[in-house]
Amino acid sequence: MMAEEGTQQLPYVRETVLKKRKVNEDWAIKNRERKAAKRQRRRDDGKGAIKRPEDFVREFRNKELDFVRMRTRLKVRKLPPAESLSSKLIFAIRIPCTTDLHPHMRKILRKLRLTQVLTGVFLKASEATMKRLLVVEPFVTYGFPNLKNVKELIYKKGRGFLDKEPFPLTSNDLIEKALGEHGIICLEDVVHEIATVGPHFKEASNFLMPFKLKCPERRLQMKKKPYKDGGDSGNRTLAAKYESLGGEVKWMGKPDKVIYTSAMSLAGVSNAHECITVGDSLHHDIKGANAARVASAFITGGIHAAELGLDEIGETAGDDAIDSLCLMHGSYPTYVLPSFTW
């Protein structure tokens, strides 16, 4: 009786299902073997290949031409100031291109951690970063992701480094071990640090491996042209594309002062001293108010609460912490409030 109770009957599986599983497993094994043999043939063919002198001349000319075009871009194109960009966060992707890169461009791509094709990294929008992207513009494409994009990328394709060993982001213990000294102890902290471009953005970005992306359904054109000119490289914002088609683009958004002056005109106010800006973002709300010369009230209990060491709503931050944070963002509020209720 006890033996009968201890035994459990296995679930019934139809024979056709078992055969299908066996066929799929055999096909997967053969497919892996076929791909491995193909890679080995390519390596063997490359070892015995003989380059003609014309190939060396063509590669050298392409490298020098890319270098000349790069110097021309740096002279002709004016880099927008980092403060005028719509976001402080950039996601750059290495796109397929020829392998005959100039050593200087290869060095810049290595600094950006874009050494492999169809890999992407998060970058901070600074003048140095924008200059590097301009140097390697024919070989990368980039845009400004939002919080949803950051969260989906890290959750779906994120992998981290710990002791020079990659691992999937499935354990908060490993994240705390790698970034705990910077106050990042879980996956949500990594997402927040990247999305807000926090003070430890560099450590969090270097902790993440470059994201390996799939080839898009629409094949890339393999042209060294900017996206706005019909190619694949460069800035992929919609405004840049529309501007290239002859449309007039007006950049409106914090911290640009245009949105403040437009709001004042809609409200029928002509004097900036009669207005006040209330916000919790030093980079967007307060910096825009400084540009428009409008008084501002900084709410410390918002998105900067963790940076100021605040745990509860209404808690007052220290003067030294507020001063250092304002100095880091280059924003200076007129008033500071712990919370705000409308």
Q: What is the pTM of this model?
A: 0.54
What string of H, E and C letters represents the secondary structure of 257-302? CHHHHHHHHHHCCCCHHHCEEEECCHHHHHHHHHHHCCEEEEECCC
- Classify each residue of 182-193 as buried b or exposed e, where b means 16 or more C-beta atoms within 10 Å of its C-beta: bebeebebbbbb
Write out the residue limits of the CATH 3.40.50.1000 domain(s) in the chain.
258-337
Return d(Cα 100, Cα 78) in angstroms, integer.
Answer: 27
Q: Give me the CATH code for the 258-337 domain, please.
A: 3.40.50.1000
Q: Using CA atoms, how far apart are residues 66 and 61, in angstroms rounded to an integer?
A: 9
- Token pair of 223 as six digits: 């042209």
User: Does residue 244 register a pLDDT over 50?
Assistant: no
Backbone angles phi, psi at 87, to 5 degrees: -150, 155
Residues of the chain with pLDDT > 70, as a percent, come to: 81
Is residue 120 within 8 Å of residue 142, measured between CB atoms?
A: no
Judged against a pLDDT cut of 60, whether residue 1 lies above it is answered with no
159: its two tokens: 């992998």
Q: Alpha-carbon distance 48 to 192, whole Å? A: 51
- CA 114, CA 120: separation in Å to the nearest integer? 7
pLDDT in tens, 10-51: 778 788 888 888 888 999 899 899 988 988 887 777 666 677
- Name 94's Cβ contacts closer than 8 Å, sequence gap at least 6: 109, 114, 115, 116, 117, 118, 119, 120, 139, 140
Whose structure tokens read 């996601």? 91
CB 204 within 8 A of CB 184: yes
Q: Which helix (H) or strand (E) holds 234?
A: strand 234-235
In 3-state terms, the chain is what percent helix, strand and coil (to 5)?
50, 15, 40
Q: What does 206-222 look like in DSSP terms, one character per residue?
A: HHBPPEE-PPPSS----
**Which pLDDT score is estimated for 121?**
92
Given a cut of 80, is residue 79 above it in pLDDT? no
pLDDT for the residue numbered 21: 87
Give the C-alpha distances (Å, rounded to integers) separating 280 from 9, 78, 93, 193.
Answer: 61, 32, 31, 16
Average pLDDT over residues 157-179: 86
Give DSSP secondary structure letters for 9-53. Answer: PPPP--HHHHHHHHHHHHHHHHHHHHHHHHHHHHHHHHHH----H
